[in-house]
Amino acid sequence: MHRKRLLISAVLLINLAYLLVLSTFHVVSKDWFESRKMGQKADKWNKTKNSPPNDRKILILEWHNEVAVGDKVVSRNCIITHNRSRIKEADAILFTQHRISKEDMPWKYYRSDQIYVWWARYETPSIIECWKNDLRYIDEGFFNWTQSYRHDADVIVGFSDRGQVLSKLSRGKKVVDDILKNKNKLAIWMVSGCRTRKGQKLRMEYAMELDKAGIKFSRYGYCFNHNESQPRVSGSVAALTEHKFYFAFENSLHCKDYITEKFWKNSLENGVVPIVWGPTKEDILSVAPLDSFIFAEDFESPAELAKYLKFLDENDEEYRKYFKWKEDETMTDERMVEMIKERYPNLDVYVNKRETLCDKLLQNNEPKVIQSLTDWYANQEPIECGGRF
C-alpha cells in the first residue's frame, strides 16, 4: 500500500511539472508574438545590424510564385528565390496581394524573425471588390512592411516618374519639331477593361460623352469589338505617335498615387499629350513633368473639354506649349522640382529615392509592425476609389 501511494505521488508530481513547463512555454510564446505586434527588435536584426551593408547577403523569398524555378541574382547583395524550402534562410518573405489565402500561408510551416512584406503590385483597392479578397484575416500585426505604387509605402514600386522620363527621353527643339510634324490625327484610346469595376464604367461613359461632343478618337483594345487587326499596346508606337492626344483614363477614381503606363508609356514616352482622368490633380502634379498634361476635371463637363481640345487642334503654338518641358535639353529633375514648388507652394512634390526592397533590407535594423493592412490599403482611400470594408 505504501509503495502504491508513493507511485501515485510520483505520477502527480510529474504531471504537475509538465503543466508548469507548458504554462511557461505559453507565456514565452505569447510574449514573443506580442513583441512582434509591438514592433520590438528581433534577435536576428540585433545580430546583423552592425554588419557593413556591402558584406551582407540578402535572400528574399517570393511566396506567390511556386512555378518559377531557380534563384535570381538581382544585385551583388541580393538574391530572389521562389523555393519555399528555403524559408528558414530568407531575410524577407514577399507576398503578392492576389495570391494570399488562409490555406496557403507560411504560418503553417514556419515563422521566425523575418520581415514579412505585403506587395500590392499595381492594383488599387477596387480589385478586392472584383476578387472578393478580404484582407482582414491577416490584420493584427502579421506584416512588417508594404511594397506598392503608393508613395507612403515602405518600398515604392511605381510605374514611372518625372525624373525617369527626363533621363530616358530625347529632348530638344528638333525632337519636338519631329514629334509635331508627325501629327495627323486627333485622339486615341487603347482600353481593355470596360465594365468590371465602377471606375471602368465611369471612364467609358466620359469617353462616350467626348465622342458625342465631336471628339472622334481612334479606338483600340478589347473594349472595341475585340478587333485583333488593331495593334496591341506593345507594338503600337506608330499608331500612338500620329495622334495629338491620348485618353489616359485610369480604371479607378481618386485612388492615392495611382498613375499607370497610360500616362507614362502610352502618352509621354510616345510624344502624345495625355488627357488625365482618374488621379487627383495633386497626385498628378506631384509626379508629372510641368505642363505636360490636360486634367479632365479642370473642365465642367466633357463638352467643355471637347471645346478646348478642338481649340488646341486648330492652334499649333498653343498645342506646342505642352511640350515645353521636352524642348529644354538642360532641364533636370531637381530644377523642375523647384519650378513646380514655386508655382504650387503647398504641393508635396514627389522625388523618387530609387530604394529597392533589397536596399531597405540592407539598411534596416528595426522592423515595424503594421497593425491593420486593411486600414492602410483600403479604408484610408476615398469612397470613390472603391474596395473599402
Model pLDDT, residue 6:
53
Enclosing H/E stretch for 22: helix 2-38
For the segment 224-238, the average pLDDT, to the nearest whole number, is 56
Q: Are residues 293 and 209 in the same domain?
A: yes
> Contact 330/45 with Cβ under 8 angstroms?
no
> Other C-beta atoms within 10 Å of 287: how many?
25
Mean pLDDT lowest among 21-30, 67-76, 206-215: 21-30
For the segment 161-167, the average pLDDT, to the nearest whole number, is 95
Q: Are residues 141 and 259 in the same domain?
A: no
In a domain, 93, yes or no: yes
% of the chain exceeding 70 in pLDDT: 72
Q: 131-139: which pairs have CB atoms within 8 A and are 24 or more residues apart?
A: 131/98, 133/97, 133/98, 133/100, 134/389, 135/100, 135/373, 135/374, 135/377, 135/378, 136/374, 136/389, 137/102, 138/100, 138/105, 138/373, 139/371, 139/372, 139/373, 139/374, 139/375
Residue 379: pLDDT above 90?
Answer: no
Report angle CA 328, 345, 321 to the nearest 5 degrees: 30
CATH number reported for the structural domain that contains residue 196 in this entry: 3.40.50.11660
Separation CA 92–CA 42 (nearest Å): 13
DSSP code of residue 274: E
For the segment 319-348, the average pLDDT, to the nearest whole number, is 96
> Other C-beta atoms within 10 Å of 122: how many?
15
Query: Distances from the Cα of 90 to the Cαs of 155, 356, 385, in angstroms?
Result: 18, 16, 35
Enclosing H/E stretch for 118: strand 115-119
> Contact 192/283 with Cβ under 8 angstroms?
no
What integer best gives the mean pLDDT of the chain? Answer: 80
Model pLDDT, residue 234:
47
- At residue 289 the predicted structure's pLDDT band, cuts being 50, 70 and 90, is very high
Q: Tell me: the pLDDT tens digits for 175-216?
A: 999 999 999 999 999 988 887 778 889 999 999 999 999 999
Residue 328: pLDDT above 60?
Answer: yes
Q: Are residues 69 and 130 in the same domain?
A: yes
The number of helix segments (H) and strand segments (E) in the chain equals: 15, 12
Q: Are residues 93 and 56 in the same domain?
A: yes
Enclosing H/E stretch for 247: strand 243-249
Separation CA 24–CA 44 (nearest Å): 23
Would the CA dihedral through 233, 237, 240, 244 be positive or negative? Answer: positive
Separation CA 83–CA 98 (nearest Å): 19
Mean pLDDT lowest among 93-97, 145-149, 182-186: 93-97
- At residue 23 the predicted structure's pLDDT band, cuts being 50, 70 and 90, is very low
Separation CA 4–CA 213 (nearest Å): 100
Q: Are residues 111 and 227 in the same domain?
A: no
Instruction: From 95, 87, 98, select the one nearest 62 (Cα to Cα).
Output: 95
- Max mean pLDDT range (134-138, 168-172, 357-361): 168-172
Q: Are residues 245 and 364 in the same domain?
A: no
Q: Tell me: the pLDDT tens digits for 232-272?
A: 444 456 789 999 999 999 999 999 999 999 999 999 999 99
Instruction: From 385, 380, 377, 383, select the one nearest 133 (Cα to Cα).
Output: 377
> Contact 292/160 with Cβ under 8 angstroms?
no
Q: Are residues 213 and 289 in the same domain?
A: yes
Range of the domain at 146: 44-158+357-385
Separation CA 177–CA 160 (nearest Å): 25
In a domain, 255, yes or no: yes
Model pLDDT, residue 110:
53
Q: Are residues 113 and 125 in the same domain?
A: yes
Q: Are residues 141 and 170 in the same domain?
A: no
Separation CA 357–CA 119 (nearest Å): 11
Residue 10: pLDDT above 90?
Answer: no
Q: Are residues 154 and 250 in the same domain?
A: no
Model pLDDT, residue 225:
72
In a domain, 66, yes or no: yes
Q: Are residues 328 and 373 in the same domain?
A: no
Q: Are residues 174 and 133 in the same domain?
A: no
Q: Output Rg (C-alpha) for the chain, integer angstroms.
A: 27
In a domain, 32, yes or no: no
**Close Cβ partners of 295 (under 8 Å, ≥ 6 residues apart):** 276, 281, 284
In a domain, 9, yes or no: no
Residue 98: pLDDT above 70?
Answer: no
% of the chain exceeding 90 in pLDDT: 47
Sheet holding 71-75, edge to edge: 71-75, 78-81, 58-62, 92-96, 115-119, 145-148, 155-156
In a domain, 16, yes or no: no
Q: Tell me: the pLDDT tens digits for 298-322?
A: 999 999 999 999 999 999 999 999 9
Separation CA 104–CA 327 (nearest Å): 52
Separation CA 49–CA 330 (nearest Å): 41
In a domain, 148, yes or no: yes
231 or 327, greater pLDDT: 327
In a domain, 225, yes or no: yes
Total domains in the chain come to 2
